[in-house]
């Protein structure tokens, strides 16, 4: 019964060789090289293949739409060209796979194109479902790779595909084939919701929240329990710990997130056939407190303070040498991966400067225990809240000492 064991074997192989970058093992999970081979792989298994293959080739994951498009075999794009060139539609060679399939899905669901004999050798619906699964699997792997990082490129890429799937699921589905396609698109949209919220965990990003609120309000006979579960989990991740927690990126955390966000959601509350629902709670093993809070010594109140976070590059993780990257943030804020931080410098015109050396001291443990950093106010300066409440004219508040610059 390979239909039962294939999913478990695929996930086991992917997690067994997690981050190994073993190309030979990854070829076992490659997408079939022909359309005929594609017909023998279920869409959900194809999604797992793409996701687990990229978990093995961890360093090869890139937060760009070009990388996502590169996961799609060339023959899939050729089928899109055939559909677009039929009837009154014209194929545009410069379009990406996503742009082509956005047009194909629109044509199929609105019955704007007659495939005719030119596409008789290809199961167009099957290829579209395969494209949905491949894109979804690649985005799921990207979400795990950049979990808790708030990476801007990964965020923009995942938001692009999320918008594409939202538009596609809003199209009418009158025929039986179109209803199957819409179901596949909705399943992919569920995975994209959790993937982008993995990246933006704890940030409360407004653009993502707008889309999740729209999806949360869906009420129809085609909206399942699993659809609501995915959106609710995504909302929880987006505001993880009230904005004070985010997600870790260690092997243990990636495995826990894979189990918690397994890309197949139940149709009913008591449906445990595709995935044991109790595993959805394993996200807690990946949650990590990473909120950096600065308090003023005299009042013990949290204050705004600009900070400079010096981090290591990926190639610099083991040695402590090499190039550095400096992130300019304003506390209170979420810090990047604590293992990558070299130092944090509080250098505000309002407060005496402080430098936290993460290499010489275990300040990372202090952050995990949610302990604040205390700063001393310079003479003649007010904190940001008191300056705003002082009633002074704006030009004075924004001038130099003794009023200092607003953060």
Burial bucket for residue 220 (CB in 10 Å: 0-12, 13-18, 19+) = exposed
Q: Give the N- to C-terminal CA distance of the chain in Å, as an integer.
A: 62
Which pLDDT value is given to residue 177? 78
The per-residue pLDDT for 190 is 96
Biggest CA–CA distance in the chain, Å, is 82
Q: What is the pLDDT of residue 101?
A: 66
Task: Look up the pTM and report it.
Answer: 0.86
Tokens describing residue 196:
């982008």
Query: 10-residue block means of pLDDT along the chain (407 residues)?
Result: 88 96 95 87 94 97 94 81 56 59 66 47 74 95 96 96 91 80 92 98 96 91 91 97 94 97 93 90 96 90 91 59 81 92 90 90 87 87 59 47 38
Q: How do the residues of the chain divide into helix, strand and coil, expressed in percent and rounded to 5?
A: 50, 10, 35
Report the alpha-carbon distance of residue 163 to residue 88 in Å, rounded: 26
What pLDDT is recorded for position 152?
Answer: 95
Sequence-separated contacts (24+) of 97-105 with Cβ below 8 Å: 97/69, 97/72, 97/131, 98/65, 98/68, 98/69, 98/135, 98/160, 98/161, 98/164, 101/128, 101/131, 102/164, 102/167, 102/168, 104/80, 104/128, 105/168, 105/171, 105/181, 105/185
**So what's the pLDDT on residue 370?**
84
363, 337 in Cβ contact below 8 A? no
Q: What pLDDT shows up at residue 383?
A: 62
Looking at residue 78, its pLDDT comes to 75
């Amino acid at each position: 019964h390979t239909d039962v064991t294939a999913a478990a074997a695929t996930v086991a192989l992917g997690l067994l060789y997690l981050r190994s970058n073993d190309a030979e093992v990854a070829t076992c999970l490659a997408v079939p090289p022909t359309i005929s081979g594609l017909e023998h792989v279920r869409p959900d298994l194809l999604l797992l293949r793409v996701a687990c293959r990229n978990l093995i080739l961890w360093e090869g994951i890139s937060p760009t739409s070009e990388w996502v498009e590169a996961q799609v075999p060339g023959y899939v794009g050729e089928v899109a060209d055939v559909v677009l060139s039929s009837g009154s539609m014209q194929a545009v060679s410069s379009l990406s796979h996503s742009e082509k399939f956005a047009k194909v899905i629109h044509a199929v669901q609105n019955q704007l194109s007659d495939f005719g004999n030119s596409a008789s050798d290809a199961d167009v619906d099957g290829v579209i479902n395969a494209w949905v699964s491949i894109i979804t699997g690649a985005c799921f792997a990207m979400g795990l790779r950049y979990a808790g990082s708030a990476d801007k490129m990964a965020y923009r890429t995942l938001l692009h595909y999320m918008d594409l799937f939202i538009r596609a699921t809003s199209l009418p589905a009158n025929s039986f084939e179109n209803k199957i396609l819409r179901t596949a698109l909705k399943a992919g949209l569920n995975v994209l919701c959790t993937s982008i919220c993995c990246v933006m965990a704890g940030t409360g990003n407004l653009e993502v929240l707008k889309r999740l609120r729209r999806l949360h309000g869906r009420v129809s006979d085609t909206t399942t329990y699993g659809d609501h579960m995915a959106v609710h989990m995504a909302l929880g991740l987006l505001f993880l710990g009230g904005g004070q927690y985010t997600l870790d990126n260690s092997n243990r955390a990636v495995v826990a997130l894979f189990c918690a966000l397994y890309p197949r959601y139940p149709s009913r509350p008591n449906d445990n056939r595709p995935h044991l629902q109790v595993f959805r709670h394993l996200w807690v093993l990946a949650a990590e407190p990473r909120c950096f809070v600065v308090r003023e010594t005299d009042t013990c109140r949290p204050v705004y303070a600009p900070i400079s976070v010096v981090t290591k590059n990926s190639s610099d993780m083991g040695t402590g040498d090499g190039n550095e990257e400096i992130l300019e943030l304003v506390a209170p804020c979420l810090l990047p991966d604590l293992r990558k931080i070299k130092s944090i410098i509080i250098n505000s015109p309002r407060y005496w400067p402080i430098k936290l050396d993460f290499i010489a001291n275990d300040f990372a443990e202090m952050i995990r225990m949610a302990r604040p950093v205390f700063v001393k106010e310079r003479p003649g300066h007010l904190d940001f809240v008191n300056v705003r409440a002082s009633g002074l004219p704006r030009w004075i508040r924004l001038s130099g000492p003794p009023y200092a610059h607003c953060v």
